[in-house]
Structure 1
Amino acid sequence: MQEQHAFPFLREILLFLVLSGILIPILQRLRINQVVGFLAVGTLVGPFGLALLADNVPWLAFLALPRDQGTAALAEIGVLFLMFMIGLELSAARLWALRRWVFGAGTVQVLASALLLGGGLLLASGLDTRSALIVGLVLSLSSTAVVMQLLAQQRATGSPLGQAAFAILMLQDLAVVPILLLIGALGGKSGGDDVALLAVLTLGKAALAIGLIYLVGGRVVHTLFRSFADHRQPDVFMALILLCTFGIAGLAASAGLSMALGALLTGVVLAETEFKHEVELVIEPFKGLLMGLFFMTVGMSIDTRQMLEAPLLLAGLVAGLVLLKALVVAAVMRVGGHPWSRALEGGLLLGQGGEFVFVAIGYAMSMQVLEPALGARVMLVVGLSLFLTPMLARLGRAIGQRHERARDQLQELGDGALASARGRIIIAGFGRVGQQLAKLLGEQNIPFIAFECDAKLVSRLHAEGKPVYFGNAARPELLHHVHADEAPAIVLTMDHPASAMRAVRGIRRDFPHVRLFVRSRDEKDARALRLAGASVVVPETLEASLQLSAFVLEAMGLDERTVDGIVNHERELVNAKLLAPGHAP
């Protein structure tokens, strides 16, 4: 009797994990864009790669992933978490900080690109208006995953060009919602219906459903995280993230929307809470794996046979897509104040199609809005444009660097967006000491961000508008998320000696040049913390005794200046002893 595996899709899962475990380290070592690498591997092992040769070479079947139910399930999970991670970046604060570029430049880029691409297809290929509209809109979007990874590799995410590119990508991510709704509306019409009226009615119903999910779901999600965050267990956080993602995706599907849209809404909801940074940390180990899962399944949809059948046509379509979008983006960035050299760099960086195209085109084909042959051709063009993106980015960077003008010619993004996003003092622990420090910093208009592990306290302070988030800032990976390497100082106010010691060692290892101010209980702990790398340590017992001594000396008739000199001298003596060899407080 043939053995039956009770665990479904076991071979597909094992093959994907083997490829990921081998591929990710190799790509990182060779400094190859991971998205492009996963696309290539997906194309190789997919139904149009090794699977075509499996009939003649049977052992290749073990390395191939045919288009079946198993790979479809993997692709669906990849789509959901890709949309969730995109939504997590769409916080209201970031949108407002870059509002001029997001809602101005981003909107112009999407509409202009969609009009030119859709209109060109309508005139050149004779597509119907509905198909041209959908294809034009989805092709107007660029790849957030590829572009942000390239900017991170170039260490250009904080540059004016990087911020402008990020703002345009944020608007494109926002455009996902109306595009999905429009596809659903167009797919639901019958032959004699008024398309415009039906689209408006469907969009209105969908907007109402999204509003209810966002408002009600936001309250439920916030309450869940606030109730269980005190457990401070990563597995609890991971369970809540999975519950919210699949739960809201299921609600969206039951309301007639796509599950991908529901996952996007989950990310948006969590981005507005004080748990955003902790959620990012929990999913960070899975982020590359989940994105790899999505892009590998995208690569599996690339039909290499079409490349051989019409190579010149495909080359022309890819070149047309990249050139047209690059010119639109460059024009938008030039109007926004960037010199032509940097504007062209931004155009080449954003000239590719985006990962959302594969989600939207698949949805459009399932709704019978697009013909399968047209959808496959569009996905192939976008896939090829993603392969070209690293090369185009290097070309654009060379143009930008060669013709770069004086530094002051680049206009800063409005309203101090860069200044407010970076360079903040980081406070770890927001009890009495942290709150007093924050009060003084706020009175002097010095920006800060604070992290605290007491979920109830964080929820109350966050609701009051204070920049306080749930999380343990002693974790270096969290500090990387808030750009601690650019912080003027990190202040540890926690009163637990062991926690403070672990934090100092971790921070000093990852951020050796950041000034680190630490609170300690006594001189013994202070000496250990100084030896571990703290810049300044303030023992509570020392400061309390010095303050008490100062009051006593003033009561004995000494003037305030003399008392201050005595107290400061004693403080300096103690601080000097803290690092003296062999000193035992």
Structure 2
Amino acid sequence: MIFNPVLLSLVVLLAVAVTLSAVFRRLTLPLIPAYVLAGILLGPHGLAWLADTADVRTFARWGVILLLFTLGLEFSPTRLREIRKNSLILALTLIGVQAGVGCILIRMLGWSWPLVVFLGFVLSLSSTVLVARQLSEQGELALPHGRLTLALSLLQDLLAVPLFMLAPVWLGRYGTGESWGTFAGVLARGTLVVVLLWMVGRGVVDRLFREVAKRKAAELFTLSVLLVTVTAAMLTQAIGMSAVLGAFLAGMILGGTEFRHQVEADIRPFRDVLLGLFFVSIGMLFHPAVLIRYGGVVGVGIAVVLVIKILTTAGISRMLGRDRETAWRAAFVLSPVGEFGLALMAFVPLSVWPDQNDGEIVLGIIIGSLLAGTVLIRFNRSLFHWIHARTVKAGEQSSEGLAPPDPTSFRDQVILCGYGRVGQNLARFLEQNGIPFVALDLDLARVRAAHQAGDPVYYGDATDLSLLEGVGLMYARALVIAYQDVQVSLKILSCRPA
């Protein structure tokens, strides 16, 4: 029996990818590291069951194009206006500081400035996919640190788009000695393309999808989405720009229409399959022997990246007015380098690296930070409480309403989870009827205002069973959930005393 080698390779790839994905899903870990590990295992430097062919790389690049398209859907003009100005300032400050620190440390290795600056920005990026998926599973997206990290990671992704556009000329032609005029010309041409495609594309795309929607044919709608994406990518590539820029603009145009959610649903299967193939191709570039020869260097690099990102994120967030818990928990969540870091590494020519192993060491650091980041995100609350218990005096906790009194002092009271408009109205009703209550909320300003008014409101995460027990859950008359977010409410309901 003779097997077709291409089909055999595809079967092996799918079998290993499915197995690893099932294991990672069982461990509630993100799937990106699973795809990368599949590439490492099956690639030319592993078991050599997969060849690093041009066809694989072509399909893999389309995964990145569709990823940028779906990112564009998140950044319609309406969505951009909704993002608070202080979140944008925080995102810009974080990238600037973290990239700057990274540049200083990397330059000490004696690497060229184009590579140093590029890697500094790459390592400062965080993972939107990892943040959104894992925080959603943990029921934390609606909490203050969840909302903050999602906004910051999306803004970082938006700021990463120019890197996809400029990376080839920055690391290629400019890196080999061409003038700043070449780089400035690419930037100016890119700006002009953005303006023209935006002005022309909005009217054309809107008319197209209105006509398609009238036909009520799902297949026609899906094909139209692919047509718009591929056409935009082709046009930008034809004039010497990156194809991902066109895909991102197409996503932004469709993101401002009423078809956005259906578009995202239709494109997701194509994106996930091709993006998985892209991360497999990234893994195929990595040489496992690097871990044997340079395991210590990779380990130190992972630790340095995580520590720098955690400390800078927590410190800058505090300086810009975020409360202590939100700042630290956001810092742990944003610490791993994101999927865009892996995607951007594909743009680095081998000739730019001082040594052929340097690129694989950096790739190992990024992959390692993703794996370590899953643990930091999973235990972000526990890590904050561990740090908080060792850095804050009991008197400071009490003044901010972070630590409620002894639980036995609460008997026959009603516990209010959330002290927003609904929670405050319920509190007034209970007060008028002589029913004692205690409330928990994560808005520190609201908690302090309530404390000054003499209300028994404390800072805390109501999804934490130990905290509910701390305000007398075992002695409570009732517990009322006053949150709008369904996931948070379900997580509170799942808390059961032992």
Which whole-Å CA distance do the structure 1 matches of 2:155 and 2:35 have between them? Answer: 26
Which whole-Å CA distance do the structure 2 matches of 1:339 and 1:179 have between them? Answer: 32
Secondary structure of the 1:363 match is coil
Inter-CA distance 14–326: structure 2 relative to 1 (3 Å threshold)? same
Q: Deviations over 1:237-273 (max 9, x none)?
A: 2111111111111111112111223222222221111
**Post-superposition offset of 1:216:** 2.0
TM-score (norm 2): 0.73
Instruction: Give 1:355's match in structure 2, choosing from 339, 349, 357.
Output: 339
Partner of 2:174: 189
Structure 1 residue 339 and structure 2 residue 323: aligned?
Answer: yes
Q: Deviations over 1:345-376 (max 9, x none)?
A: 2112111112112332222328x655664433
Which whole-Å CA distance do the structure 2 matches of 1:265 and 1:389 have between them? Answer: 30
Would you say the 8 A contact 1:184–1:257 is kept in 2?
Answer: no
Partner of 2:35: 38
Partner of 1:48: 45
Inter-CA distance 114–233: structure 2 relative to 1 (3 Å threshold)? same
Structure 2 counterpart of 1:319, which letter?
Answer: A
Instruction: Give 2:84's match in structure 1, choosing from 99, 108, 132.
Output: 99
Inter-CA distance 310–369: structure 2 relative to 1 (3 Å threshold)? closer
Partner of 1:239: 223
Inter-CA distance 317–362: structure 2 relative to 1 (3 Å threshold)? same
Within-5 A mapping of 1:75-224: 75-122=60-107, 124-186=108-170, 187-189=172-174, 193-195=178-180, 197-224=181-208
Secondary structure of the 1:66 match is coil
Inter-CA distance 397–49: structure 2 relative to 1 (3 Å threshold)? farther
Which whole-Å CA distance do the structure 2 matches of 1:284 and 1:485 have between them? Answer: 24
Which whole-Å CA distance do the structure 1 matches of 2:264 and 2:163 have between them? Answer: 27
Of 12-21 and 341-350, deviating more is 12-21
Structure 1 counterpart of 2:38, which letter?
Answer: V
Inter-CA distance 103–370: structure 2 relative to 1 (3 Å threshold)? farther
Q: Deviations over 1:531-576 (max 9, x none)?
A: xxxxxxxxxxxxxxxxxxxxxxxxxxxxxxxxxxxxxxxxxxxxxx
Unaligned runs of 5+ in 1: 52-63, 413-482, 487-585
Which whole-Å CA distance do the structure 2 matches of 1:170 and 1:214 have between them? Answer: 20
Inter-CA distance 411–125: structure 2 relative to 1 (3 Å threshold)? farther
Structure 2 counterpart of 1:162, which letter?
Answer: G
Would you say the 8 A contact 1:85–1:264 is kept in 2?
Answer: yes
Which whole-Å CA distance do the structure 1 matches of 2:237 and 2:353 have between them? Answer: 21
**Post-superposition offset of 1:306:** 0.7
Which whole-Å CA distance do the structure 2 matches of 1:338 and 1:369 have between them? Answer: 40
Q: Deviations over 1:260-298 (max 9, x none)?
A: 232222222211111101112223445543443333333
Would you say the 8 A contact 1:12–1:70 is kept in 2?
Answer: no
Structure 1 residue 397 and structure 2 residue 381: aligned?
Answer: yes
Secondary structure of the 2:349 match is helix
Higher Cα Rg, which structure: 1
**Post-superposition offset of 1:309:** 0.6
Structure 1 residue 326 and structure 2 residue 323: aligned?
Answer: no
Partner of 1:566: none
Would you say the 8 A contact 2:60–2:274 is kept in 1?
Answer: no
Which whole-Å CA distance do the structure 1 matches of 2:55 and 2:9 have between them? Answer: 6
Structure of greater relative contact order (alpha carbons < 8 Å, 6+ residues apart): 2
Partner of 1:509: none
Q: Matched residue pairs, number?
A: 400
Partner of 2:477: none
**Post-superposition offset of 1:26:** 4.9
**Post-superposition offset of 1:303:** 1.9
Would you say the 8 A contact 1:160–1:411 is kept in 2?
Answer: no
Kindly report the root-mean-square deviation, in angstroms, between the aligned alpha carbons of the 2 structures.
3.0
Inter-CA distance 21–246: structure 2 relative to 1 (3 Å threshold)? same
Would you say the 8 A contact 1:101–1:164 is kept in 2?
Answer: no
Which whole-Å CA distance do the structure 2 matches of 1:4 and 1:24 have between them? Answer: 26
Structure 2 counterpart of 1:71, which letter?
Answer: V
Inter-CA distance 345–307: structure 2 relative to 1 (3 Å threshold)? same
Which whole-Å CA distance do the structure 1 matches of 2:367 and 2:126 have between them? Answer: 12
Runs of 4+ that moved beyond 6 A: 2-5
